[in-house]
């Protein structure tokens, strides 16, 4: 069995994280999403994998390489313009000479999801799951096992069975996709939906975990569950007087200085310098090369690579993009908030701030709950942010 991972998309709704990074490389629980996908395939002995790349393809190719380090073979195909999933799949046409799995590279899945697809009948299979956000996905109606209808992003649907976008397909189906593409139908789902009478498509409800990060705050919600490791792994340096509780991972070359208190699940990457006297509370992931100065507190947050957190900072249920600098005494507390994104309001029970990559916060900045800050912003000392900040702007 071969598999095709679709990794050419933008994920624009993940702004500000997606502005310069493909969605598949955004980390949850300190691992890029596509790594979960590759792991799920490898765990099911699928080792011949094609990846369709487009947006920031070089970053993806550099990250995955040729697969030989994981004992698999990865071949790349390019989709030069974002013309839909069917178009993306057909970019890998020479690869598709036997039954294959199609897997979106930007959903977090576990091995069970792939297993469920493989154990279904030998024809064409669509993996289904349940979601209370069905208006964001394709809602699927089945008759017995057979899929009889797929409705894309219905406005008011009470149904909660949705398509995961994961298919097991026979190569014989490709001419149909090509034909539909020439008619301007360029999504796999819509092409399949149009031909459900002619092809046998079996729906399989998966027992596995399938999660999608549509908005950046979804990452905060998913972060804790993604860190499903147990025990304590310390590959770095712990100074005397550090307290670790629960599942904690500390990466190579990371130094945790005296008096730090870390309560898992917490995942800390490589080459960090934390403390002395820093508290890190459950659900937090800290990337590589992060520095956290004394007396700061980080709880339920996602801190990406090369972030620098000054002393006396407080981050709660907040997300900080790579390379952002927070000077001392910056506060990002959490609370109930209405996040404004793309002209819509998203009520959240408990959320902190969402800060894009490469921004610089001078000392004593407060960011109110639910506020988003873009890429490369500069926030001057003592400012309080009560509104979202566009990328590359200054705030006083």
Partner 1 sequence: MCGIVGYSGDKMATDIILDSLIRLEYRGYDSVGVAIVNHDIVVYKEKGQVSQLRDLVPSIDGYTGIGHTRWATCGVPSSENAHPFKSMDGRIALVHNGIIENYLDLRKELSAQGYEFSSQTDTEVLVHLVHRYMDGDLHMALRRALQDVRGTYAIAAVEFGSDRIVVARKENPLVIGVGMGENFIASDVTAILEHTSDVIYVMDGETAVISPEEIHLFSPEGQEIKREVNRITWTSEDAKKEGFEHFMLKEIFEQPKTVRDTLVCYLDGLEASDILPPVSPSSVTIVACGTSYHAGMVGKYAIEELANIPVTVELGSEFRYSSGTDNKPLVILITQSGETADTLAACREARRRGCHTLAVTNVLGSTITREADSVIMTKAGPEISVAATKTYTAQLVSLYLIALKLALNRGAIDEMGLRELKAQLRSLPTLIERVLDRADSLQDAVEVMSRAQHAFFIGRNINFPSMLEGALKLKEISYIHAEGYAAGELKHGPLALLDPDTPLVAACLRDHTYEKMISNVTEVAARGSPVLIVASDGDEQVHLLTDHVIFVPRCPPLLSPVPLAVLLQLLAYHVAKAKGMPIDKPRNLAKSVTVE
Q: How far is the CB of 255 from partner 1 (least distance, A)?
A: 7
255 binds partner 1 (CB under 8 A): yes
For 316: left if phi > 0, alpha if psi spans -120 to 50, otherwise beta; the answer is beta
3-state secondary structure of 267: strand
Q: Which is nearer to partner 1, 180 or 289 (CB)?
A: 289
Q: Which is nearer to partner 1, 88 or 204 (CB)?
A: 88
What tokens does 180 get? Answer: 């539909």
**Residues 288 to 307 in contact with partner 1, rule: CB under 8 A:** 288-289, 291, 305-306
Contact 349, 317 (CB under 8 A): no
CA distance 278 to 297: 6
- Total of chain residues touching partner 1, rule CB under 8 A: 43
Q: How far is the CB of 373 from partner 1 (least distance, A)?
A: 13
Give the burial string for 363-379 (b: 16+ CB within 10 Å, else e). bbbbbbbbbbbbbbbeb
312 binds partner 1 (CB under 8 A): no
Q: How far is the CB of 389 from partner 1 (least distance, A)?
A: 12
56 binds partner 1 (CB under 8 A): yes
218 backbone dihedrals φ, ψ, rounded to 5°: -60, -35
Q: How far is the CB of 95 from partner 1 (least distance, A)?
A: 10
Q: How far is the CB of 16 from partner 1 (least distance, A)?
A: 13
Contact 26, 98 (CB under 8 A): no
What is the number of alpha carbons within 13 Å of residue 311 lying toward its C-beta? 5
198 backbone dihedrals φ, ψ, rounded to 5°: -90, -30
31 binds partner 1 (CB under 8 A): no
C-alpha angle with apex 376: 374 to 379, nearest 5 degrees? 80
Q: How far is the CB of 175 from partner 1 (least distance, A)?
A: 21
Packed helices 33-43 and 111-119: angle between N→C axes, nearest 10 degrees = 40
Q: Single out the residue of 16, 29, 41, 57 in contact with partner 1 (rule: CB under 8 A).
A: 57
Tell me, residue by residue from 33 to 52, as one string, x for binding to partner 1 by CB under 8 A and - for no binding: --------------xx----
CA distance 373 to 321: 10
Distance separating the N- and C-terminal Cα atoms of the chain: 57
Q: How far is the CB of 251 from partner 1 (least distance, A)?
A: 11
Q: How far is the CB of 58 from partner 1 (least distance, A)?
A: 5
Instruction: Concatenate the DSSP letters of all residues of 43-106 into one string.
Output: HTT--EEEEEE-TTHHHHHHHHTTSGGGT-EEEEEE-SS---HHHHHHHTGGG-SS-EEEEETT
344 binds partner 1 (CB under 8 A): no
378 binds partner 1 (CB under 8 A): yes
Q: Which is nearer to partner 1, 84 or 356 (CB)?
A: 356
Q: Which is nearer to partner 1, 20 or 170 (CB)?
A: 20
Q: How far is the CB of 261 from partner 1 (least distance, A)?
A: 21
Question: What single-letter DSSP state applies at residue 242?
Answer: -
Q: Which is nearer to partner 1, 191 or 319 (CB)?
A: 319
Q: Which is nearer to partner 1, 101 or 307 (CB)?
A: 307
What tokens does 358 get? Answer: 């490469």
Q: Single out the residue of 10, 31, 221, 360 in contact with partner 1 (rule: CB under 8 A).
A: 360
Binding site for partner 1 (CB under 8 A): 20-21, 47-48, 53, 56-59, 61-62, 65-66, 68-71, 73, 76, 94, 237, 252-253, 255, 270-271, 273, 288-289, 291, 305-306, 308, 322-323, 357-358, 360, 376, 378, 392-394
């Amino acid at each position: 069995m071969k598999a095709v991972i679709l990794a050419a998309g933008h994920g624009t709704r993940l702004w500000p994280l997606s502005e310069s990074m493909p969605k598949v490389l955004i980390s949850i629980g300190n691992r890029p999403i596509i790594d979960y996908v590759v792991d799920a395939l490898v765990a099911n002995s699928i080792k011949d994998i094609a990846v369709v790349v487009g947006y920031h393809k070089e970053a993806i190719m550099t990250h995955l390489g040729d697969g030989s380090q994981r004992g698999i073979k990865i071949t790349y195909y390019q989709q030069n313009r974002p013309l839909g999933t069917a178009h993306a799949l057909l970019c890998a046409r020479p690869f598709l000479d036997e039954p294959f799995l199609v897997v979106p590279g930007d959903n977090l899945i576990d091995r069970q999801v792939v297993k469920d697809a493989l154990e279904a009948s030998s024809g064409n299979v669509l993996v289904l799951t349940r979601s209370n956000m069905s208006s964001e996905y394709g809602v699927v109606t089945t008759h017995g096992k057979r899929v009889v209808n797929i409705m894309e992003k219905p406005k008011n649907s009470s149904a909660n069975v949705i398509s995961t976008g994961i298919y097991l397909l026979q190569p014989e189906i490709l001419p149909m996709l090509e034909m539909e593409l020439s008619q301007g139908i360029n999504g796999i789902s819509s092409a399949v939906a149009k031909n459900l009478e002619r092809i046998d498509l079996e729906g399989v409800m998966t027992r596995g975990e399938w999660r999608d990060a549509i908005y950046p705050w979804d990452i905060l919600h998913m972060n804790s569950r993604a860190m499903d490791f147990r025990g304590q792994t310390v590959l770095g340096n712990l100074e005397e007087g550090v307290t670790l509780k629960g599942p904690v991972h500390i990466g190579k070359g990371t130094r945790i200085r005296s008096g730090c208190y870390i309560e898992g699940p917490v995942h800390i990457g490589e080459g960090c310098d934390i403390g002395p006297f820093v508290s890190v509370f459950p659900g937090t992931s800290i990337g590589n090369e992060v520095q956290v100065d004394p007396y700061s507190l980080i709880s339920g947050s996602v801190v990406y690579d090369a972030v620098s957190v000054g002393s006396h900072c407080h981050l709660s249920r907040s997300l900080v993009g790579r390379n952002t600098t927070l000077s001392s005494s910056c506060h990002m507390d959490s609370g109930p908030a209405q996040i404004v994104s793309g002209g819509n309001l998203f009520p959240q029970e408990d959320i902190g701030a969402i800060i894009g990559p490469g921004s610089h916060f001078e000392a004593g900045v407060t960011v109110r709950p639910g506020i988003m800050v873009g890429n490369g912003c500069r926030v001057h000392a003592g400012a309080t942010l009560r509104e979202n900040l566009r990328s590359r702007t200054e705030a006083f």
